[in-house]
């Protein structure tokens, strides 16, 4: 069984929100060290202070990273190895919800996750401390079902589901010993939700906002972080973890819609 104890993690977008909760919950479960790769230095500083206060000093580093810039993501991986020698867990968490700036949203949510996955594929084989590395991609319930007011955001999360599904097959695991897991949080109380205004919808879909997202129950980020721990310690390669309405549900394999011809 995979244990978090003494492992090293890199988490994008972990300066605040659910990402910071992931880092703290992993430290509570014995994580040795973490890299916070976030675009916002003030959030990064605050995150480091909170981590030092609760878990002691020199447990984490902040690397200013815009996940849409491949070189910056790579620098975060390099600095992790310089600081901690190993890398065992990569969580591609950075994301925004704003269909009004959909090209930027696609760049952050999809390109950022692809950069993180490709670098993790290399670094987790070279620098893991145990016999297995883990990639955790953060999708959403919007990656599994339709959301009429935010179709582009939903498309970015469907893309992450597709990426994880194809990377998380047995053939890849057998060669690399990298486990690919996916978390699909439901609506969770963070600035991504509390700062959301209807103008973040594209004008064509804005009218549907009030009968769409607000009908979903809101949960606390702590419960999503608990879901991460369950996924890391018990999740099989290619498994999906829906954390919605404060309940954690494991889907070992998303069903295939098509079958290969016999």
Site of interaction with ligand NAD (CB under 6 A): 12-13, 15-19, 38-40, 43, 65-68, 93-97, 108, 138, 140, 185, 187-188, 190-193
What is the enclosing helix (H) or strand (E) of 37?
Answer: strand 33-38
* Annotation marks residue 153 as catalytic: yes
Smallest gap, in angstroms, from Cβ of residue 250 to ligand NAD? Answer: 17
Q: Which is nearer to ligand NAD, 47 or 128 (CB)?
A: 47
Active-site entry in 22, 115, 123, 153: 153
Q: Show the tokens assigned to 161.
A: 């589901």
DSSP letter for 36, please. Answer: E
CB proximity list for 7: less than 8 A, separation 6 or greater:
26, 30, 31, 32, 86, 88, 89, 129, 130
If the CB atoms of residues 138 and 155 are measured against ligand NAD, the closer one turns out to be 138
d(CA 249, CA 246): 10
Q: For ligand NAD, which is the closer residue by CB, 83 or 193? A: 193
Least separation in angstroms between CB 186 and ligand NAD? 6
Closest to ligand NAD by CB, 165 or 177: 165
**Closest CB 256 distance from ligand NAD, rounded Å:** 24
- Exposure class string for 94-123: b at 16+ Cβ within 10 A, else e: bbbbbbeebeebbbbbbbbbbbbbebbbeb
Would you name the residues annotated as active-site residues?
153
């Amino acid at each position: 069984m995979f244990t978090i104890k003494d492992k090293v993690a890199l988490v994008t977008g972990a300066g605040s929100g659910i990402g910071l909760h992931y880092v703290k919950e992993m430290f509570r479960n014995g994580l040795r060290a973490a890299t916070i790769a976030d675009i916002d230095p003030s959030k990064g500083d605050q995150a480091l202070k909170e981590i030092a206060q609760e878990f002691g000093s020199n447990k984490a580093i902040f690397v200013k990273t815009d996940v849409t810039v491949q070189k910056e993501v790579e620098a975060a991986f390099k600095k992790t190895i310089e600081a901690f020698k190993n890398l065992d867990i990569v969580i591609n968490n950075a994301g925004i919800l704003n269909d009004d700036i959909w090209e930027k949203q696609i760049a952050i949510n999809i390109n950022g996750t692809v950069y993180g996955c490709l670098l993790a594929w290399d670094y987790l084989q070279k620098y893991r401390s145990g016999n297995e590395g883990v990639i955790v991609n953060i999708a959403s319930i919007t990656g599994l079902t339709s959301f009429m007011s935010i179709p582009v955001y939903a498309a970015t999360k469907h893309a992450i589901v597709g990426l994880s599904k194809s990377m998380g097959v047995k053939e890849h695991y057998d060669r690399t010993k990298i486990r690919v897991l996916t978390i699909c949080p439901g609506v969770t109380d963070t600035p991504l939700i509390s700062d959301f205004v209807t103008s973040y919808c594209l004008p064509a879909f804005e009218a549907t906002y009030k009968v769409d997202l607000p009908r979903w129950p809101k949960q606390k980020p702590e419960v999503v972080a608990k879901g991460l721990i369950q996924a890391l310690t018990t999740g099989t390669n290619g498994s999906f973890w829906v954390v919605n309405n404060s309940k954690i549900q494991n889907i070992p394999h998303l069903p295939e819609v098509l079958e290969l011809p016999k």
